[in-house]
Every structure is written in C-alpha cells, then in structure tokens.
Structure 1
Amino acid sequence: MAVELRHLRYLIAVAEHGSFTRAAEELRISQPTLSQQVKQLERAVGVQLLDRTGRAVRLTDAGATYVHYARGALRDLATAERAVMDLADLSRGHLRLALTPTFTAYLVGPLVAALHTAHPGITLEVREMPQDRIEAGLLADDHDLGLAFQGPHLPGIRATALFTETLGLVTAADADPGPLPVRDLATRRLALLSGDFATRGHIDAYLAAHGVRPDIAVEANSVQALTEIVRRTDLATVLPDAVTHDHPHLRPVPLDPALPSRTVTLLRRESAYESAASRAFAELTTRLVHTRGYLPAPAGSARAAAGVDQAADAP
C-alpha cells in the first residue's frame, strides 16, 4: 500500500493529542476509521509507530523519527502549493502576519490600509502573540512574516530592522506638552499595561532605575483600553509615542531622562519561500515607516542574532 498524505496527517494528530478519540474529533472522522488508517501506515512502513499500551498513546522511537520527517514533508508541500499559487503580478495572494500586541495600536492599521489600497487581491491573516511564539511559528511555517523587536533571536530567524520605537508619557491633548522630569511621575495617577506585558516590564525597570514608585490607578491588558481611559480622564499612561499619531485627542509628553528605545524588526525564517505578497508587504512597511517619520533604526541593528528568545508583549 502506498503512503498517502492523509496517513501522515492522521499520525501527527494522534501524536499531538495522545489519544485516538481526541484526534478523531479534531479530524472529524470516526475513531475506528482513524485507528485503521494508522495501522495501514504502520504496515506500509513496516514498523510500529505508536505505543498503545499506556493510558495515553505515545510515539515509539521509530514513530518520533517518522513524525519529524512527516511534519517536514507536509510543511514543504504547503510551501510548494503557496509558491504555485503565488502570482508575481500580485493580483492575488495570501499573507500570514504575526505581531506583538502593542503594534495593533499604531502600526497594523496603516499597514493593512496601505496593502489593501496597493494590492486589493492579497488576503491577510493577522495574529497577535508573544515574540517567542512568533519566532517558533515562523520556524514551523505557521506565519510568513513577524513584527516584533530586535533580538536575540532563535537560530534560523532573520531580522530586518525597520525603525526605532520611542516611549513616553501619553496624556489628553490639552495637557502640558512637557518635557516632564521622571520624578514627577510619582505624583501623577497612571493607567498602565498589566504586568504580563513586556512593555510594562520595560516601564517598571525604567521607573525603578530612577527611584520612582508610581501611583497606578488602572491596569489594563489592552492598549486600546488605555487610550480610551486617558482620553476621557485625567489619568496618563506610558506607551510608544507613535500611538498618538492617529489620535488627535492624545498628546505624547517626553520624559526626562527618556525611556530606553527599542528597535522594531521584520522577522522571517531564513530558508522560507518568500512570496510576492511577502515582498510587497515588506516594501510597503519600509515606505510607510519612513513616510510616518519614525526614527531610523540604529546602524548595525539589522543583523539577526542567535540565542535566547527576547520576551515580548503578551497578554
């Protein structure tokens, strides 16, 4: 019997769930059918791939090796299908973009608008997630591109520096334009991102370094929530300055000394097929950050570094 793609997908599903029942539910086939198909695969390759003797179904050593290559085969096939469907004239295409959450507040909207205007035939899938998950997803071919911060990065990830993100106090538009000495934040009531955001850790470290204990009136797990709160109250927040670009009711107030800046990068898998849609999006991104006047990235920051993941915003 020849091995078919469904056999690979079925085996991988059982391995991931550790259960024929749960895998069958995900695959929307009956459990007996799934079991029969996996047995067919085992007969075809001539070895036992699953250990069914325990409470959970586990891969045998041979099964783990087979699944490793099966995943690679399915990933390569998906890449081949996208390459065939990709048209250089950009009359159609699909792009899978992953990004850390703060970019939804000021960057993803203008980027999507620019892409839709220039190439309306390209469909876009946008997902928010922490940076370590973005990089793992790129390596697994779950995403085409990622928007995050400069490394260190996982081996196999290529980073292209886009611009420098600056952070400061964000207040209602009628507030004093500053600059504001950092010590004055001890007397300002603040609304900040919750502690599970890396941006909040960045802010906390800055305040602690200057001996400031902030008066936190509100914590939120959404940048959009913070901008609405600041707009309608006398509270202030600390966010990327660029958040105010499309919000006339908000004003950026520089702090003295300034918060450490961060380099925003476009991430790719080094060996990935780069579709016409990916190339178009990268070019649009470069033009847009220049048009909007974001600070250039520091010289030399475009190199991708291998090593331990950098934490990134994640609710």
Structure 2
Amino acid sequence: MPISHAHLRSFHAVATHGSFTRAAEFLHITQPTLSGQVKELEERYGIKLFIRHGRRIELTDMGLSAYAITRHMFRYEEEVEQLLQSARALTTGKLRVAADSPYIATPLLAQFQRLYPGIQISIQYGNSEQLMTWLASRRCDVAFLPNIPQSDDRLFSIPLVPDNLVVFVSQDHAWADRQSVNMAELTNQRIVLREKGSRTRSIFEEAVRQSGLELKDVMEISGREGVREAVAAGFGVGIVAENELGADSRLSSLRVSDAELNHAEYVTCLKEHQALRVTDAFLDMIQSSQQAQ
C-alpha cells in the first residue's frame, strides 16, 4: 500500500510550523485528525518523527531526514500548481507577505493588486527575527526585511531605496521646535525603543556604540504603535524610519547631526520560491519600480 499523501502533508505541516495546533489551522483540519494522521504514519513504519515535550515538539533524526525530502516534494507541488495557474495569466493565486512595517510594504502591495486583481494577498507583521523565522519555515512567500544575513545563501533579495532614521518627540517636549540634535544630547534623554530584534533599535544602538557613548535610560515597548503612543504621551524620545513617521500633529521630528542613521530595506524570498509564478511576478514588479526611481 503506497504511503498516504495526506499523512505526509500532515507531517510536513507540523514540521514546518513547529506546532500541531498551527499546522491544523494551516491545513484547515481538526487537531485530532492531524494528530491521528501523524500517529498512523509513525505506527505504520515503526518510527518516531517527533519528540513531544508537552506542547513543544522537535523533530527526531528520522523526522529531520523525512522533512528534508518533504520540503522538496511540496515545493515541487507548489511549482506545478503555479505553472498551471500561469496558463490563466495570473488570474488566481496567493501571495503570503511578511513585513516589519506597513509603510513600505502597503503601497507596493497595492500596486501589485492593481496589476493582478485576482491574486489573494495576506500579510503579517513582526520584527526582523520573526520575519527570518517565517521565511525559513515557509510561512510566507516574500518578506520586507530591514536587514538580511549576508552569509545566508538560501535567500534572494532586492534592495529598496534606503531611508533615514529620525528622532521624534511630543509637541510638549523642549526639542519640539529644533531641527536637529546630536548623539550626546540623545543619550542624556530617556529613549523609547522597540523590543530587541527590531532593526531600528539595532541601527540606533550601533550608532551609540560607535560614538563612544552609552544609553542611560531606555524604555522598551513592544510594537511600533506602542512606541509612537508613548512618545506622544511624553514618556521620552523615539527613533523611527523617516517614511514611517507619517503625519501626526502630536509629534515633531528632528535629524541627528553627527551620526549616519541609514535604514535599508529589502524584499526577500527563499531562492527555491523565486521561480513560483506569483512570487516571480511580484519580484519583477519590485525590480521595475526600483529601476524607475
């Protein structure tokens, strides 16, 4: 009796998502059904594919070997599906996007949607570390990343036009009417920063180190909107990419006069996803839009 495709798909989903719950949601089946299929696969061949530690799971050596094969298997399945869809001139399909911010991704996704109105787009937001995890686990097709590991040869990336980081304060702050500040002045203020793993935070902290200074007072808040609201309420001074600040009458922006605070952004995918029809069309659009600037 040949191996069950449904059983392999269930195993692959659990291995990819690292969770029976998330895998069941992804496959749109119940968790008991999913668990039963994985169990049947293990019992049929007398092996263990996962080690279960309560709610946490990890692949066994056999599971790792099987996952290396199913990754190729389901990638080829996706390529066949995309090939067949391409015959319909991209009238249907899906593009799963991850981004660290809506400000850069949203206009480009809107442009893509106008070109291909039949493509269903989904987007999820996270910090840089989360985006890399989602890419590696194939929970997204493309990601807007503020930095990419140069040594990671799994990735294909297109650089976007870089942006500058700026300081922002509330309108009640003593700096509200100034045009710029220096690093020494900044380090004497309470700085409101996102959680560790945020690229904005990493760029700013590196600039502080290169200036030979230290941050004396840091308030850490999870999420970009949380930082914005804290600064508007007068808790301290924020750091943000200039194009993400937007129009907010409660806030005022200033440049840093003695440090280079450049914020690069990339559109990134796994090389093995680059040839998929929808992903390829999106990357072509990105490259064309960057060349036009």
Query: Over aligned residues, Cα RMSD in angstroms?
Result: 4.3
Q: What's the TM-score, normalizing by structure 2?
A: 0.73
Q: Does structure 1 residue 263 correspond to structure 2 residue 264?
A: yes
User: Which residue does the alignment assign to 1:297?
Assistant: none
Report the residue type matching 2:32 in the other structure: R
Match of 2:95, SS state, is strand
User: Which residue does the alignment assign to 1:299?
Assistant: none
The Cα offsets for residues 141-197 of structure 1, whole Å up to 9 and x where unpaired, read as 432212112431412212221122321212346822422222222444432223453
CA distance in 1 between counterparts of 2:71 and 2:77 reads: 10
User: Which residue does the alignment assign to 2:162?
Assistant: 164
User: Which residue does the alignment assign to 2:144?
Assistant: 147
User: Which residue does the alignment assign to 1:204?
Assistant: 205
Match of 1:77, SS state, is helix
Report if the CA contact (8 A) 2:171-2:251 is conserved. Answer: yes
The Cα offsets for residues 205-260 of structure 1, whole Å up to 9 and x where unpaired, read as 32243344446474311111222333343842111122224546544311121234
User: Which residue does the alignment assign to 1:193?
Assistant: 194
Q: Where in structure 2 are the equivalents of 1:225-236 lying within 5 Å?
A: 225-233=226-234, 235-236=236-237
CA distance in 1 between counterparts of 2:81 and 2:257 reads: 53
177-186 vs 241-250, greater mean Cα deviation: 241-250
User: Which residue does the alignment assign to 2:283?
Assistant: 282
Report if the CA contact (8 A) 1:95-1:278 is conserved. Answer: yes
Q: What's the TM-score, normalizing by structure 1?
A: 0.69
CA distance in 2 between counterparts of 1:166 and 1:97 reads: 24
**Cα gap change, 1:131/1:76 in structure 2, threshold over 3 Å: closer, same or farther?**
farther
CA distance in 1 between counterparts of 2:188 and 2:5 reads: 63
Q: Where in structure 2 are the equivalents of 1:58-97 lying within 5 Å?
A: 64-86=64-86, 89-97=89-97
174-183 vs 128-137, greater mean Cα deviation: 128-137
**Cα gap change, 1:58/1:212 in structure 2, threshold over 3 Å: closer, same or farther?**
closer
CA distance in 2 between counterparts of 1:225 and 1:109 reads: 20
**Cα gap change, 1:181/1:89 in structure 2, threshold over 3 Å: closer, same or farther?**
same
CA distance in 2 between counterparts of 1:250 and 1:288 reads: 31
**Cα gap change, 1:125/1:153 in structure 2, threshold over 3 Å: closer, same or farther?**
farther
User: Which residue does the alignment assign to 1:29?
Assistant: 33
Match of 2:139, SS state, is coil
User: Which residue does the alignment assign to 1:5?
Assistant: 5
Unaligned runs of 5+ in 1: 43-47, 294-315
Match of 2:264, SS state, is strand
Q: CA deviation at 1:6?
A: 1.7
Report if the CA contact (8 A) 1:168-1:252 is conserved. Answer: yes
**Cα gap change, 1:145/1:153 in structure 2, threshold over 3 Å: closer, same or farther?**
farther
Report the residue type matching 1:144 in the other structure: D
Identity %: 19
Match of 2:273, SS state, is coil
Q: CA deviation at 1:10?
A: 4.7
Report if the CA contact (8 A) 1:194-1:219 is conserved. Answer: yes
Report the residue type matching 1:252 in the other structure: S
CA distance in 2 between counterparts of 1:17 and 1:158 reads: 22
Report if the CA contact (8 A) 1:170-1:237 is conserved. Answer: yes
Match of 2:124, SS state, is strand
Q: Where in structure 2 are the equivalents of 1:21-60 lying within 5 Å?
A: 27-29=31-33, 35-36=39-40, 38-40=42-44, 42=45, 48-50=46-48
**Cα gap change, 1:80/1:164 in structure 2, threshold over 3 Å: closer, same or farther?**
same
Which has the bigger relative contact order, CA under 8 A and spacing at least 6? 1
Report the residue type matching 2:81 in the other structure: E
**Cα gap change, 1:271/1:58 in structure 2, threshold over 3 Å: closer, same or farther?**
closer
Unaligned runs of 5+ in 2: none
Report the residue type matching 2:48 in the other structure: L
Q: Where in structure 2 are the equivalents of 1:102-117 lying within 5 Å?
A: 103-104=101-102, 106-117=103-114
Q: CA deviation at 1:88?
A: 6.0
User: Which residue does the alignment assign to 2:123?
Assistant: 126
